[in-house]
């Protein structure tokens, strides 16, 4: 069937209930994706923290070492212990007291500070890396199994993984979940948009497709 014939059939069919339900559902779905795409700024932010010496440390001979690179003056990665008169020995911090501006974050839960602060960027990078990998397989899978099938599978998997992430107790599992979410992102986003474009006649798509893409 030529494209002109296909467009003629779509024009005769017009925009029906299925088209409207689909565009509303996809528009709502697109509004949910940014919460996870940009989650790194809120789930793994830079949180002020103060070193907590071990419980058995003699605090009278202990001094918190403030990191001068932090403008807040409330970021420490080590403490000094007076081992003998006039002699201080630096010890790395293993526990911290975090600022409570954010109630609960990946940063505070897994203590991603000092030597582990690079993991905060990894939290966001895993999602973007998943998008990179998923985009490469997106077209192949959609052509092989059908766009509608891939949209349904990707949205369901994305929902289950996103909800299940709240019960993950290890950082490795959370990063793996972020990667999987990133893989499902282009499959549900681009494939869903292309599916609607292919199911809408030219005149109807010119008025509704841009709005769906902006969502």
pLDDT of residue 176: 95
**C-alpha–C-alpha distance, residues 62 and 79, integer Å:** 7
- 55-64, 89-98, 141-150: the lowest-pLDDT one: 55-64
pLDDT of residue 128: 92
User: DSSP readout, 86-109?
Assistant: TEEEEEE---EEE-SSSSS-HHHH
What's this model's pTM, rounded to 2 decimal places? 0.74
- 63-72, 141-150, 161-170, 191-200: the lowest-pLDDT one: 63-72
pLDDT of residue 116: 86
**C-alpha–C-alpha distance, residues 65 and 67, integer Å:** 7
CB atoms within 10 A of CB 126: 20
Expressed in angstroms, the distance from the first to the final Cα of the chain is 32
Torsion angle of C-alpha atoms 60, 90, 100, 119, degrees rounded to 10: -160
pLDDT band at 69 (very low <50, low <70, confident <90, very high): very low
Q: Over the chain, what is the mean pLDDT?
A: 76
Q: Residues 34, 189: contact at Cβ < 8 Å? A: no
Q: Is the pLDDT of residue 167 over 50?
A: yes
pLDDT of residue 143: 80
pLDDT of residue 95: 83
Q: Residues 80, 88: contact at Cβ < 8 Å? A: yes
- Name the most confidently modeled range: 79-93, 126-140, 190-204: 126-140
> Helix-strand-coil percent breakdown of the chain, rounded to 5?
65, 15, 25
Name which of 175, 70, 165, 194 is nearest 122 in CA terms. Answer: 175
pLDDT of residue 68: 42
pLDDT of residue 196: 75
pLDDT of residue 25: 83
pLDDT band at 123 (very low <50, low <70, confident <90, very high): very high
- 8-12, 14-18, 37-41, 173-177: the lowest-pLDDT one: 8-12
Tell me the mean pLDDT in the region 48-75: 57
Q: At what angle do helices 171-198 and 147-164 cross, to 10 degrees?
A: 150
* Residue 5 parent element (H or E): helix 3-13
The label of the residue with tokens 């339900």 reads: 21
Q: Is the pLDDT of residue 214 over 70?
A: no
Tens of pLDDT along 169-200? 899 999 999 999 999 988 888 888 787 777 66
């Amino acid at each position: 069937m030529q494209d002109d014939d296909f467009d003629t059939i779509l024009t005769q069919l017009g925009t029906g209930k299925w088209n409207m339900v689909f565009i509303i559902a996809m528009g709502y779905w697109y509004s949910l994706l940014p919460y996870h795409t940009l989650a790194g700024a809120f789930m793994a932010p830079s949180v002020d923290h103060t070193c907590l010496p071990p419980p058995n440390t003699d605090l009278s001979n202990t001094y918190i070492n403030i990191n001068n690179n932090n403008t807040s003056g409330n970021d420490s990665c080590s403490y000094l212990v007076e081992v003998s008169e006039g002699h201080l020995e630096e010890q790395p911090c293993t526990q911290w007291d975090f600022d409570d501006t954010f109630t609960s974050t990946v940063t505070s839960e897994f203590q991603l500070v000092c030597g582990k602060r690079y993991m905060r960027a990894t939290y966001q990078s895993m999602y973007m890396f998943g998008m990179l990998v998923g985009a490469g397989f997106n077209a192949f899978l959609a052509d092989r199994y059908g766009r509608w099938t891939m949209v349904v599978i990707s949205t369901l998997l994305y929902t289950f993984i996103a909800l299940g992430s709240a019960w993950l107790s290890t950082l490795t599992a959370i990063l793996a979940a972020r990667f999987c979410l990133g893989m499902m992102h282009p499959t549900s986003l681009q494939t869903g948009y292309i599916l609607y474009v292919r199911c809408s006649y030219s005149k109807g798509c010119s008025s509704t497709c841009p709005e769906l893409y902006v969502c």
